[in-house]
Amino acid sequence: MKRVRVRLRALEDRSYPICIGAGILHRLPRELARLCPAARYAVVTDARVARLYGRALRRDLRRRGLHADLIAFPAGERYKTRRTKERVEDALVRLGHGRDSAILALGGGVVGDLAGFVAATYQRGIPYVQIPTTLLAMLDASVGGKTAIDHPAGKNLIGAFHQPRAVWADVSVLRTLPARQLRSGLAEAVKHAAVADLGLLKFLDRRGADLRALSPRALERLVERNCRIKAAVVMRDERESGFRQILNFGHTVAHALETAAGYRLLHGEAVAIGMAVEATLSERLGGLSAGGRDRLLCLLESLGLPGRLPRRLDPRRVLAATYTDKKARLGRPLYALPRRLGHPPAWNGRPVRPVEDRQVLQALRDLLS
C-alpha cells in the first residue's frame, strides 16, 4: 500500500493520510478506530455504489462490532443538490446520529462533495472519511477538503472547506467503473501534469494504454503521483486564496460548459474540452508555445478524451455561463493558463488572469465540432 500525507497544521493539526492500494477496501473497518474513531458510522453513497460496494462495507463494519448505517441517494451529478443534502440529513436524524458519529463517503466525486458538505454542517461539523470509487475522485476530488453542492445557476455554488480524517483509495473497485468514467478521471490527471509535473505528462504518454486496461500497478502509481501533487498544492494554500488556483486550469470553461450543456458532459470531459480551449487562449496570449498546446491536445486525444465543443452548443451561451462561475471575482471570470507545460501558471506573479470576451469567444469558435 502507498501512502501520501496531507499536512495541515494551521490553528489545529488536521493532517491526514491518503492510503492507496489494490484490494484494500475490506481492511478499512479494522483501521477505522485509528483513522477516524466514532461511536457510529453512516456510509453515505449513491444507489449504484451501494449495490456494488456499500452493502458489503456495512456488513464488514458490523462484523467488527461497529454501528453502521447505509444512506444512499440516486447516482449522478443531477442529484448533487440541496434537496439530496436535506434527505441525507433527515436520514441521519432519523437514524439517531449525533456529534459522535462519522460519515464514510463512499463513491465518486458527487458523493464525496455532497457527503463531505453534509459532514461539514451536520451538528456543526462531524468527521468523515473519503472512500473514492471513481478514478476522478481518487486522484482529485477526495483530497483537499473542498465540499459542495450545485445550484441551478452554477456548479458548486454552495459548499464549505472541510478536510476528511483520511482518504482510503482501493484501485480494484475501478474494475466495475464504465470506461467513459475512467477516461473522464484521466482528464484531471492531465490537468495536474500540465500545471505541475512534466514527468507525469510523460507517464501519461507512456502508460495511457496500461491505465485504460486497468493495470493495478499503473493505476496505483497514477493515483499516488496525483495525490502528491494535489496534497502539495493544498498544503501551500488550503483555502484557495492564491496558489491553489493553478488547479483551475480548464475549469473556467469546463464549469461553463457543464452549466450550458445541462450535464450531458461528464465533469472530466468538460475539463478536457476546457483545457483545449484554455490552452488555445494561452497560446494566443503569448503563453504556451504552439508545440506545447498541440502536445496537450494530442495527449487528450490519445486518452480518448474530447478536445472540441459539443455540436450545437452556442459559444455565446458558454461565454455567458463563465460569468456565473463563483471564481468570477468582481464579475470578471479568471483563467489559470499554463505558460509552459508542467509549470504552474503565472501571469504578473499571479496564477490567474482575466481574458477579453472576444478572445474567449474566438477560442470557443475555433474548437467547435
Within a 10 A sphere around the Cβ of 217, how many other Cβ atoms?
11
With CB under 6 A as the contact rule, which of the stretches 170-178, 192-200, 332-340, 348-356 interacts with ligand NAD? 170-178
Maximal CA-CA distance, the chain:
62
| Residue 77 interacting with ligand NAD (CB under 6 A) | yes
| Residue 305 interacting with ligand NAD (CB under 6 A) | no
Residues ≥6 apart with Cβ < 8 Å to 125: 119, 162
Rounded alpha-carbon distances, angstroms, from residue 280 to 260, 265, 296, 328, 366: 20, 21, 10, 20, 9
| Residue 162 interacting with ligand NAD (CB under 6 A) | no
| Residue 113 interacting with ligand NAD (CB under 6 A) | yes
Residue 146 annotated as catalytic: yes
With CB under 6 A as the contact rule, which of the stretches 59-67, 123-131, 138-146, 235-243 interacts with ligand NAD? 138-146
- Nearer to ligand NAD by Cβ, of 133 and 282: the residue is 133
The three three-digit cell numbers of residue 101, written as one number: 458519529
| Least Cβ distance, residue 283 to ligand NAD (angstroms) | 25
| Residue 164 interacting with ligand NAD (CB under 6 A) | no
CA atoms within 13 A on the CB side of 52: 19
User: Cα-flanking dihedrals φ and ψ of residue 94, to 5°?
Assistant: -60, -40
| Least Cβ distance, residue 129 to ligand NAD (angstroms) | 15
Q: Is 304 exposed, middle or buried (0-12, 13-18, 19+ CB in 10 A)?
A: middle
Residues paired with residue 44 on neighbouring β-strands, in sequence order: 71, 105
Q: Is 2 exposed, middle or buried (0-12, 13-18, 19+ CB in 10 A)?
A: middle
**Where is 364: in which H helix or E strand?**
helix 357-366
Q: Which of residues 13-72 bind ligand NAD (CB under 6 A)?
A: 46, 48-49, 52
User: Cα-flanking dihedrals φ and ψ of residue 314, to 5°?
Assistant: -80, 120
**165, 183, 228, 230: the active-site residue:** 230
Residue 188 annotated as catalytic: yes
Residue of minimal Cβ distance to ligand NAD: 109
| Residue 139 interacting with ligand NAD (CB under 6 A) | no
Residue 192 annotated as catalytic: no
| Residue 250 interacting with ligand NAD (CB under 6 A) | no
| Least Cβ distance, residue 275 to ligand NAD (angstroms) | 14
Residues ≥6 apart with Cβ < 8 Å to 150: 77, 80, 81, 156, 157, 158
Q: Name which position in 21, 29, 54, 108 contacts ligand NAD (CB under 6 A).
A: 108
Q: Name which position in 6, 44, 110, 270 contacts ligand NAD (CB under 6 A).
A: 110
User: Cα-flanking dihedrals φ and ψ of residue 280, to 5°?
Assistant: -65, -45
Residue 244 annotated as catalytic: yes
Residue 124 annotated as catalytic: yes
Q: Which residues are catalytic?
A: 124, 146, 188, 230, 240, 244, 248, 251, 255, 267
The residue ranges that bind ligand NAD (CB under 6 A) are: 46, 48-49, 52, 75-77, 80, 107-111, 113, 133-134, 136-137, 140-141, 144, 146, 155-156, 173-174, 176-177, 181, 184, 266-267
